[in-house]
Chains A and B, each alone.
Chain A
Amino acid sequence: MSTDMKVMVPIGPQHPALKEPESFKVMLNGEKIFEVDVRLGYNHRGIEKACEQRSYIQDIYLIERICGICSHSHTTNFVQAVEEIAGIQVPKRGLYIRTIVAELERIHSHLLWLGVAGHEIGFDTLLMYTWRDREVVMDLLAALSGNRVNYGMNTIGGTRRDFTPEQLQEILRTMDVLEDRTKYYIEIASVEPTLIQRLSGVGFLSKEDAMRLGAVGPTGRASGVNYDIRRDDPYAAYSDVQFKVMVNENCDVYGRTLVRVGELMESYSIIRQLVKQMPDGPIAVKAPRRIPVGEAISRYEAPRGEDLHYVKGNGTDKPERVKVRAPTLANLQSVAKSLENNNLADVPITIAAIDPCFSCTDRMIQVDDAVFTWERLRAYGIDWYKSQRGIDFREVKKLPW
Chain B
Amino acid sequence: MVEALFTLIVFPGFLFLGAAGVLAEFTDRKLYARLQNRQGPPWFQPVADFVKLASKEDIVPAKANHFMFKLVPMLAVTAATVPIMYIPIWSSQALFSFSGDMIVVIYLLTVPTLSFFLGGWFSTSLYSMIGALRTLTQLFAYEVPLFLALLAPAVIAGTWSLSEMSLFYAEHPLLILTNLLGLAVALISIQGKLERTPFDIPEAETEIVGGTFTEYSGRLLALFRMSIDIELVVCCSIVAAVFLPFGLNLGSAVGFVLYVAKVAFVLFLLALMRTVLARFRIEQMVVFCWKYLAPAAFLQLLISVLVRGWVNP
- Cross-chain contact of A343 among B127, B209, B276, B281 (Cβ < 8 A): B281
- Chain B positions within 8 Å of A17 at CB level: 206-207
How far is A348 from B276 in the complex, measured between Cα atoms in Å? Answer: 20
Asked whether A348 lies within 8 Å of B36 as measured between CB atoms, the reply is no
A122-B277 Cα distance, complex, nearest whole Å:
8
Shortest distance between the CB of B198 and any CB in chain A (Å)? 6
Within 8 A of A (CB), among B182-215: 197-198, 200-201, 204-209
A347: chain B residues at CB < 8 Å are: 207
Least CB distance from A330 to B in Å reads 24
A15 within 8 A of B: yes
Interface 0/1 of A223-246, CB less than 8 Å to B? 000000000000000000000000
Interface residues in A323-350 (C-beta closer than 8 Å to B): 343-348
Tell me which of A113-121, A153-161, A206-214 binds B: A113-121
B206 touches A125 (CB 8 A): no
Cβ of A345: which chain B residues have Cβ within 8 Å of it? 201, 204, 207, 279, 281-282
Give chain A residues whose Cβ lies under 8 Å from the Cβ of B133: 1
Pick the contact of B278: A1, A9, A121, A129 (CB < 8 A): A121
Contacts of A121 in B (CB 8 A): 278-279
B291 at the interface (CB under 8 A from A): no
Residue A385 lies at the interface, judged by CB distance under 8 Å to chain B:
no
CA distance A125 to B271 in the complex (A): 12
**When chains A and B are docked, how far (Å) is the Cα of A246 from the Cα of B278?**
26
Contact of B276 among A119, A122, A125, A132 (CB under 8 A): A125
Q: Please, how many angstroms separate the alpha-carbon atoms of A89 and B222 in the complex?
A: 65
Within 8 A of A (CB), among B257-295: 275-284
How far apart sit A346 and B279, CA to CA, in the bound complex (Å)?
11
Q: Count chain B CB atoms within 10 A of each CB in A118, A129, A132, A198 and give the residue with the most.
A: A198
Is B37 at the interface (CB under 8 A from chain A)? yes
Tell me, yes or no, whether A170 is within 8 Å of chain B by CB: no
A50 located at the interface, meaning its Cβ lies under 8 Å from any Cβ of chain B in the complex = no
Contacts of A346 in B (CB 8 A): 281
Which residue from A16, A31, A122 sits with its C-beta under 8 Å from B200? A122
Residue of A197, A345, A346 with most chain B CB atoms under a 10 A cut-off = A345
Q: Contacts A1-B133, A31-B283, A122-B200 known; A195 to B278 CB distance under 8 Å? A: yes
* Pairwise interchain contact A192-B278, C-beta atoms closer than 8 A: yes
Contact with A along B33-53 (1 / 0, CB 8 A): 001111000000000000000
Q: Which residues of the partner chain A approach B126 to less than 8 Å between Cβ atoms?
A: 7, 9-10
* Alpha-carbon gap, A122 to B278, bound state (A): 5
B residues in contact with A343, CB < 8 Å = 281-283
The answer, yes or no, to whether B106 is at the interface (CB within 8 Å) is: no
Q: How far is the CA of A321 from the CA of B208 in the complex (A)?
A: 42
For B277, the closest partner residue in chain A by CB is A194
- Per the bound structure, the CA–CA distance linking A16 and B197 in Å amounts to 17
Checking A1, A15, A132, A194 against B37 with a beta-carbon cut-off of 8 angstroms, the contacting residue is A132
Whether a CB of chain A sits under 8 angstroms from the CB of B103 is no
Pick the contact of A122: B35, B130, B197, B283 (CB < 8 A): B197
Main secondary structure of the interface of A (DSSP, over half): helix
Cα distance A119–B279 in the bound complex, in angstroms:
10
Complex contacts, B201 vs chain A, CB 8 Å:
345
Complex Cα–Cα for A7 and B35 (A):
39
A9→B204 CA distance, assembly (Å): 15
Contact A197 B209, CB 8 Å, known A1-B133, A132-B37: no
A124 at the interface (CB under 8 A from B): yes
CB closest residue in chain B, given A17: B206
How far is it, in angstroms, between the C-alpha of A280 and the C-alpha of B36 when the chains are bound? 44
Contact partners of B209 in chain A: CB under 8 A: 15-16
With a CB–CB cut-off of 8 A, which chain B residues contact A118? Answer: 278
Supposing A7-B126, A129-B36, A197-B284 touch, asked if A123 and B278 sit within 8 A by C-beta, the answer is yes
Q: Which of A10, A122, A126, A128 contacts B204 (CB 8 A)?
A: A122
CA distance A1 to B204 in the complex (A): 19
Counting chain B CB atoms within 10 Å of each CB, which of A9, A122, A192 scores highest?
Answer: A122
A194 contacts B205, C-beta separation under 8 Å:
no
A257 to chain B, nearest CB (A): 12
| Residue on A nearest B199 in the bound complex, by CB | A122
Known: A119-B206, A345-B207, A348-B206. A197 touches B36 (CB 8 A): no
Chain B hits for A120, CB < 8 A:
206
Contact A194 B280 (CB under 8 A): yes
Contact A122/B198 with A194-B280, A344-B207 known, Cβ cut-off 8 Å: yes
Residues of A within 8 A of B276 (CB): 125, 192
Are A124 and B207 touching (Cβ within 8 A)? no
- In the complex, what distance in Å separates the CA atom of A129 from the CA atom of B33? 11
Q: A9-B130, A15-B209 are in contact. Are A198 and B204 (CB under 8 A)?
A: no
Query: Are B36 and A122 in touch, CB under 8 angstroms?
Result: no
A residues near B278, Cβ cutoff 8 Å: 118, 121-123, 126, 192, 194-195, 197-198
B269 to chain A, nearest CB (A): 16
A128 partner residues in chain B, CB cutoff 8 A: 36-38
Q: Which residue of B lies closest to A132 (CB)?
A: B37
CA A347 to CA B206, docked complex, whole Å: 9
Chain A nearest CB from B205 CB (Å) reads 5
Q: Are A123 and B279 in contact (CB under 8 A)?
A: yes
A125, B272: Cα distance in complex, Å:
11
Instruction: Report chain B residues within 8 Å CB of A9.
Output: 126-127, 130, 208
With known contacts A16-B206, A122-B204, A129–B277 Cβ distance under 8 A = no
Which residues on the B side are within 8 Å of A122 (C-beta)? Answer: 197-198, 200, 204, 206, 278-279
Interface residues of chain B, those whose CB is within 8 Å of chain A, are 35-38, 126-127, 130, 133, 197-198, 200-201, 204-209, 275-284
In the complex, 16 of the A-B residue pairs with CB atoms within 8 angstroms, ordered by the A residue number, are: A16-B206, A16-B209, A118-B278, A120-B206, A121-B278, A121-B279, A123-B279, A126-B278, A194-B279, A195-B278, A198-B278, A198-B280, A344-B208, A345-B201, A346-B281, A348-B207
Please list the residues of chain A having a beta carbon within 8 angstroms of any beta carbon in chain B: 1, 7, 9-10, 15-17, 31, 118-126, 128-129, 132, 192, 194-195, 197-198, 343-348
